[in-house]
Chains A and B, each alone.
Chain A
């Protein structure tokens, strides 16, 4: 029997790695991967606690989270590709204007 703490340890590792990627990487796609890792940390917690409490509602919440994460990835990649078309870069520090004021 694997203890609950092992699952929570893995989830903590995933969450802090995702946070590190979002904070540090100078690349929009790596930041998106970091957000997905944080979603997965929450998913592991949901499933582990649901199993410990003896009902399956945690799995249903995980399903909704997976669906929302898929939507987020699709829209996020579309925005990133559009930004790349405009700024020719996917470095977050190059993207510093919302609208081109010159034209």
Chain B
């Protein structure tokens, strides 16, 4: 049962990836992206990372998809993206991607052969451990990422304001 549900969500991810490659409509692309994000959250739940799955849903499925749809609708011709043509660069890029994919699969098969079998069960609960270690062990990255968020929001507003025309 567990395995069947996993296979269904993995197949959804693969189908959405194919749709993302071949679609010509940017809004459809954003919806495929949303589907991939939700399935990724399900995969996080399979690995006992419930809080990460929740933040994935909130940030990606809630925030980033909305931003992408906004960006798509503020630019013209978002439903008439030119079709994938078999030019020299497309063929070259697909060869490179298939090469990277097979290289990754080769490395991962070696890795999982060495790692298989020794699953150590996570002893503590998810959320208390993350909360405690964000405030003790990872407090510096936490503060820096908060600062990064502030800077990027101010920077995005500055880039979009009309002042940039006079620079």
Give A residues with C-beta under 8 Å from B: 1-17, 19-21, 23-27, 29-30, 32-33, 36-37, 40, 43-44, 47-48, 50-60, 62-64, 66-75, 77-82, 84, 88, 90
Contact = CB atoms under 8 A, between A and B. Distances in A.
Contact of A66 (B60, B123, B130): B60
A75 B112 contact: no
Range, interface on chain B: 35 or more
Contact of A63 (B13, B30, B52, B72): B52
Contacts of B112: 3-5, 8
Contacts of A32: 68, 71
Main secondary structure of the interface of A (DSSP, over half): helix
A91 to B, nearest CB: 9
B68 A29 contact: yes
Looking at B55, B134, B159, which has the most chain A CB atoms within 10 Å of its CB? Answer: B159
Nearest to B33: A33
A67 B138 contact: no
Contacts of B84: 24
Contact of B56 (A3, A25, A66): A66
Nearest to A79: B159
Nearest to A49: B115
B104 A16 contact: yes
B152 A43 contact: no
Contacts of A6: 6, 10
Interface string B132-157: 01100010010001001100110111
Contacts of A13: 13-14, 17, 101
For the complex of A and B, the 9 pairs showing the least CB-CB separation, nearest first, are: A54-B120, A71-B152, A23-B93, A8-B108, A16-B101, A78-B156, A12-B104, A51-B47, A17-B17
